[in-house]
Structure 1
Amino acid sequence: MRSQFLIIAGIIFLFTLSSGCIASDGNTQLNLTFFDVGQGDACLVQIHNKTMLVDAGPYEAGPGIIDWLKTRNITSLDVVVATHPHSDHIGGMPTVLKQEKTGIFIDAGDSHTTPTYEVLLKTIEKFKIPYRVVHEGDQIDLDPAVTISVLNPGFTYSGDLNDNSIVLEINSGDRKFLLMGDAGIPVEDKLLKEGRDLKADLLKVGHHGSRHSSGRRFIEAVSPEIAIISLEAGNEYGFPQKDPVKYLTDAGSQIYRTDQEGTITVTADQKNLIVKSEKTSSPSTDCNCSQMQGVCKSQESRSNSCCLSCGV
């Protein structure tokens, strides 16, 4: 009788193992790639054969992201997240959505009636991409080996689009990664007041290293081993500004910048965090000027390199 029980138990264990409910080595590998998109944000999360794109940089960054995906035989995206509807985060997204089969599109639902956002919504509608709005407390399904939690925005929007950014906490085993979008100090203070355990292995620094994000108390609480700042060399805003850099340095963080390192990939498992960078050419300014006519009418696009190149 006991031998029969052991045989049955063994069969159940093997079935559970093969179905993926138990990790075979407890050491799942996660890749986060922070693209060099100039002045903007774009990050690809990869685990097993699943992919999640968080933002896609300005308009001119779209073709470069597509080229990067193609060279790695990535022909579909399970999840695409727009953290907030500023053009330096969603400008390249229509190009990506047109060429990559997309499982679901996610944003914060904060209305923003600029031509850039309208083009994105029309693309989602045209290609019949499922659409979901998320708020704090929600989770995003990507792979059973990771938990992706939405920490912001709340159900009441602030008057600042940056502070309505989707903030993501990605947990993989004992590893934690925080992607802050352009969320500023008010969001950081809210997270601190909620008493969350914010300690993380990696922080995608909020708002490109602006002094309006990455407050001292928040950085001390997160104390990331690795900090990623996505920005353009010689940008007109003076990013990264000295206060966030000082707070990160004081916290012992290793800072990586896309304006210096280019595209940055962090490979993480339970034992190691490995950072690799690749210098790529700057986002192309070979722009489709006829398509830019509507986009460039908005005030937010006045510094868009395609708008400047096309003279519109």
Structure 2
Amino acid sequence: MIRSHCLIVAGILLVLIASSGCIATDENTRLNLTFFDVGQGDSCLLQVDGKTILVDAGPYEAGPKIAEWLKARNISYLDVVIATHPHSDHIGGMPAVLRQVKTGVFIDSGDTHTTPSYEVLLKTIEKYQIPYRVVHEGDQIDSGPGVNIRVLNPDTTVSGDLNDNSIVLEITSGSRKFLLMGDAGISVEERLLKEGTDLRADLLKVGHHGSRHSSGRRFIEAVSPEIAIISLTAGNEYGYPQKDPIRYLTDAGSRIYRTDQKGTITVTADQKGLVVNAEMIPKSAPK
């Protein structure tokens, strides 16, 4: 019932996402990508030309901190909120953000999950009457002039694996390109390689927190990122980041930035280059 209601509401927003075509880019566009230190989870904020797009919101405890960080910077509206997939380390903090920051549209892959965190998220979307959209490979997400956001995954035929059904985003601004991999694994990477997708990117948000089940050698060689961001917590029970992804990224000449070491990481990008800044936010409050 909740999902049906959201889909009906979303009908008026077809203009936001086109299944084909391109958005013109501007060589002078400047954008910020902020990768929040959310512990063992993922959250990234894209800011460009007055628009704000939040991709994931970490685990439950991260939500209030992200909302406070946004308010401290006078960000009172999110044009788009994207859940890459319904695991709690990516969506647990999202209800807190949606309650406190007005949101234009909520986007996910249409994948469902039988967990309390996912149910709370759906109820929050319904309560605040946030328009809801599903995207798949080939869809475009409107980010205004100067930036093109293309969905590379999931395929229209989704697998039974929530991680491999993650929304993968290709963000292009002029000659700059950024890949946000969610928790997509090697099978997704291999599909993209097989399809002949041009994967070269200046920045890679490394898939699945640096797990060996993502970031295969062939994929990293194809992307060859100048900067690689890994979002995770120190001493996590999974042993992330694991050796293989780190080795492949190092061999590719990538500069690796980890939220467990650097805290919240902001990358400012324009056609002149990429500038990386980090801020160690106190765990009690993201001032």
Q: TM-score scaled by structure 1? A: 0.83
1:289 aligned residue:
none
CA distance in 1, matches of 2:284, 2:193: 37
1:166 aligned residue:
167
1:95 aligned residue:
96
Is contact 2:25–2:148 with CA below 8 Å preserved after alignment?
no
1:36 aligned residue:
37
Post-superposition CA distance 1:129-181 (Å, at most 9, x none): 00000000000001111000000001111111000000000000000000000
Q: The residue matched to 2:164 in structure 1 has which SS?
A: helix
Query: Shift of residue 22 of structure 1?
Result: 9.0
Mapping 1:198-237, distance limit 5 Å: 198-237=199-238
1:256 aligned residue:
257
Is contact 1:38–1:282 with CA below 8 Å preserved after alignment?
no
CA distance in 2, matches of 1:168, 1:99: 25
Post-superposition CA distance 1:201-243 (Å, at most 9, x none): 0000000000000000000000000000000011010000000
- Identical positions, percent: 78
Is contact 1:80–1:105 with CA below 8 Å preserved after alignment?
yes
Query: Shift of residue 59 of structure 1?
Result: 0.1
Aligned length: 262
Amino acid at match of 1:208: H
2:67 aligned residue:
66
Point out where structure 1 has 5 or more consecutive residues left out of the alignment: 1-20, 285-312
CA distance in 2, matches of 1:133, 1:27: 31
Amino acid at match of 1:218: F
| Shift in alpha-carbon separation, 1:136–1:279, aligned structure 2, 3 A | same
CA distance in 2, matches of 1:113, 1:126: 19
1:247 aligned residue:
248
CA distance in 1, matches of 2:282, 2:110: 33
Mapping 1:9-20, distance limit 5 Å: none
2:132 aligned residue:
131
Q: The residue matched to 1:59 in structure 2 has which SS?
A: coil
Q: The residue matched to 2:155 in structure 1 has which SS?
A: coil
Q: The residue matched to 1:105 in structure 2 has which SS?
A: strand
CA distance in 2, matches of 1:277, 1:238: 23
Task: Please state if 1:269 is matched with 2:266.
Answer: no
RMSD between aligned residues: 1.1
Is contact 1:169–1:177 with CA below 8 Å preserved after alignment?
yes
Q: TM-score scaled by structure 2? A: 0.90
Is contact 2:30–2:270 with CA below 8 Å preserved after alignment?
yes
CA distance in 2, matches of 1:66, 1:120: 15
Q: The residue matched to 2:244 in structure 1 has which SS?
A: helix
1:304 aligned residue:
none
CA distance in 2, matches of 1:76, 1:113: 29
**Structure with greater contact order relative to length (CA < 8 Å, sep ≥ 6):** 2
Amino acid at match of 1:247: Y
CA distance in 1, matches of 2:39, 2:25: 41
2:196 aligned residue:
195
CA distance in 2, matches of 1:156, 1:113: 21
CA distance in 1, matches of 2:173, 2:97: 27
Instruction: Provide runs of 4+ in structure 1 moved above 6 Å.
Output: none
Structure having the higher helix fraction is: 1
Mapping 1:40-59, distance limit 5 Å: 40-59=41-60
CA distance in 1, matches of 2:91, 2:194: 30
Amino acid at match of 1:104: V
Is contact 2:25–2:147 with CA below 8 Å preserved after alignment?
no
Point out where structure 2 has 5 or more consecutive residues left out of the alignment: 1-23
Amino acid at match of 1:47: V
Query: Shift of residue 282 of structure 1?
Result: 2.6
